[in-house]
């Protein structure tokens, strides 16, 4: 019996052929911490009596959730990570001087690569599966075990095969594809399973689309999402290699066998997909843009950013729609580039001028508003269109507020109209 990509990655790391359902202990190629979850890992690390990281160059801390600090509590939380990073002279420590949202920053730095096993104390660590890696979120104490030993235990997941067919039409992006999948299978439809994206439609998806898709597989309960390496991936890696003077390590590329065993196969015709809007209060509550337009949903705030949709491609999409226009009088708009490099690139391309002149507020790279931390909290009864990944009750502020998840084109067009509209009609 053949193997899936995920099974092959674990086989390569275990030094033997493994299959779904097996429990394996493997070395970790990259452990990711942030300013919210790392202090718990640090406490467990120190209470264990450990004095040194098992694989210091395979551990990184990214300060992104409340940076710059929003209050005394978050400042003290950040201080714990900073003190630890300086004490251990961490090679991969990213603070305000070189900041970014972790799941956008690490690929940008060439620190996550195909074939890796990656863990992070953040559920959206699955983002890095877009590069052909196994990447998943774990609890903070699980992270500390990896810090101490350099490895961890895993149950090799079964794989759901998602076949994407056709070429997406204008203003259909990775965000719509993943929202459609979650709409079909629900928030627990892929519980502890890998989701492998295949089909001729994949060739039409850029890396930004793939990152968005992999980022949100956790919203269907998946352990990881994964794409096979192709020409698009190789070009992305080549650009990162040039920009950073090399990648962290040599990629280990795997492809699923033709006779690999899948527990389920789902086909999505992306050529005939409309923009998908996830209504409150679950990412699985997907509706077509046509339904949203019919519902005439007035909005108070638009947020473009996050680890899901804060890349340069998203800012280009929004700027193209907003050029020469103005955000509706009763609507606020917040734009959060995912990294400083993206911020600078957007500035160089004149995108910041377009967005600010349209009435948007541009913030520093941060998770901020996405998790209801700061930089865009919603008040009672307010409605927001967001390019983020979750729309749970109270996710961005007041428990009576509402979040509608959408792609960047829908978000930008809706900011101008002051209500949810179809960008294809502009």
Q: Is the peptide bond before 281 cis (omega within 30 degrees of 0)?
A: yes
List residues bridging with 304 in a β-sheet: 335
Listed as own residue / partner, the contacts of 237-245 with beta carbons closer than 8 Å and 24 or more positions apart are: 237/110, 237/113, 237/114, 237/131, 240/107, 240/108, 240/109, 240/110, 241/110, 243/110, 244/109, 244/110
Q: Do domains 5-268 and 276-425 have the same CATH topology?
A: yes
Backbone angles phi, psi at 403, to 5 degrees: -120, 130
Q: Side by side, which strands form the sheet with 92-94?
A: 92-94, 59-62, 30-34, 117-120, 134-137
Given a contact cutoff of 8 angstroms between Cβ atoms, the answer to whether 307 and 367 are in contact is yes
Backbone angles phi, psi at 320, to 5 degrees: -60, -40
Cα–Cα distance between 31 and 283 in angstroms, integer? 27
How many C-beta atoms surround the C-beta of residue 296 within 10 A?
9
For the chain, give every domain's residue range.
5-268, 276-425
CATH of 5-268, one of 3.30.499.10, 3.90.1150.10, 3.30.70.20, 3.30.10.20: 3.30.499.10
Q: What are the residue ranges of helices labelled H in 88-206?
A: 102-108, 140-149, 174-185
Is CATH 3.40.50.2000 correct for 276-425?
no
Cα–Cα distance between 76 and 83 in angstroms, integer? 10
pLDDT in tens, the chain (426 residues): 899 999 999 999 999 999 999 999 999 999 999 999 999 999 999 999 999 999 999 999 999 999 999 999 999 999 999 999 999 999 999 999 889 999 999 999 999 999 999 999 999 999 999 999 999 999 999 999 999 999 999 999 999 999 999 999 999 999 999 999 999 999 999 999 999 999 999 999 999 999 999 999 999 999 999 999 999 999 999 999 888 888 888 999 999 999 999 999 999 999 999 999 999 999 999 999 999 999 999 999 999 999 999 999 999 999 999 999 999 999 999 999 999 999 999 999 999 999 999 999 999 999 999 999 999 999 999 999 999 999 999 999 999 999 999 999 999 999 999 999 999 998
Given a contact cutoff of 8 angstroms between Cβ atoms, the answer to whether 211 and 314 are in contact is no
């Amino acid at each position: 019996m053949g193997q899936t990509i995920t099974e092959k990655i674990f086989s390569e790391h275990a030094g033997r052929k493994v299959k779904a359902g097996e429990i394996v202990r493997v070395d970790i190629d990259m452990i990711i911490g942030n300013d919210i979850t790392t202090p718990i890992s640090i406490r467990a690390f120190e209470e264990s009596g450990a004095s040194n990281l098992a694989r210091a160059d395979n551990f990184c801390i990214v300060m992104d959730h409340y940076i710059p600090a929003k209050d005394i509590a978050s400042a003290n939380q950040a201080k714990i990570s900073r003190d630890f990073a300086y004490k251990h002279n961490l090679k991969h420590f990213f603070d305000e001087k070189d900041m970014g949202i972790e799941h956008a920053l690490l690929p940008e730095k060439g620190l996550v690569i195909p074939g890796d096993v990656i863990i992070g104390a953040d559920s959206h660590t699955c983002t890095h599966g877009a590069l052909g890696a196994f990447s998943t979120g774990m609890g903070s104490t699980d992270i500390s075990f990896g810090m101490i030993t350099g490895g961890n235990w895993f149950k090799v997941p079964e794989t759901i095969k998602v076949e994407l067919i056709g070429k997406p039409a204008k203003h259909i992006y990775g965000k719509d594809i993943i929202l459609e999948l979650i709409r079909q299978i629900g928030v627990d439809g892929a519980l502890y399973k890998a989701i492998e994206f295949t089909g001729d439609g994949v060739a039409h998806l850029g890396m930004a689309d793939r990152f968005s898709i992999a980022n949100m597989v956790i919203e269907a309960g998946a352990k990881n999402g994964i794409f096979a390496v192709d020409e698009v991936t190789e070009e992305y890696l080549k650009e990162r290699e040039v920009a950073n003077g090399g990648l962290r390590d040599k990629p280990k590329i795997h492809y699923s066998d033709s006779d690999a065993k899948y527990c389920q196969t789902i086909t999505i015709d992306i050529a005939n997909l409309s923009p998908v809007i996830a209504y409150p209060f679950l990412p699985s509550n997907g509706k077509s843009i046509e339904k949203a337009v019919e519902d005439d949903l007035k909005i108070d705030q638009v947020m473009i950013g996050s680890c899901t949709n804060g890349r340069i491609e998203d800012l280009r999409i929004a700027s193209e729609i907003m050029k020469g226009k103005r955000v509706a009088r009763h609507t606020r708009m917040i734009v959060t580039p995912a990294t400083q490099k993206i911020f600078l690139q957007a500035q160089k391309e004149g995108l910041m001028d377009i967005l600010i002149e349209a009435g948007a507020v541009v913030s520093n790279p941060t998770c901020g508003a996405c998790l209801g931390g700061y930089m865009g909290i919603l008040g009672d009864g307010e409605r927001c269109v967001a390019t983020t990944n979750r729309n749970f009750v109270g996710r961005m502020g007041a428990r009576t507020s509402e979040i509608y998840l959408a792609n960047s084109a829908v978000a930008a067009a809706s900011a101008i109209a002051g209500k949810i509209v179809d960008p294809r009609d502009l």
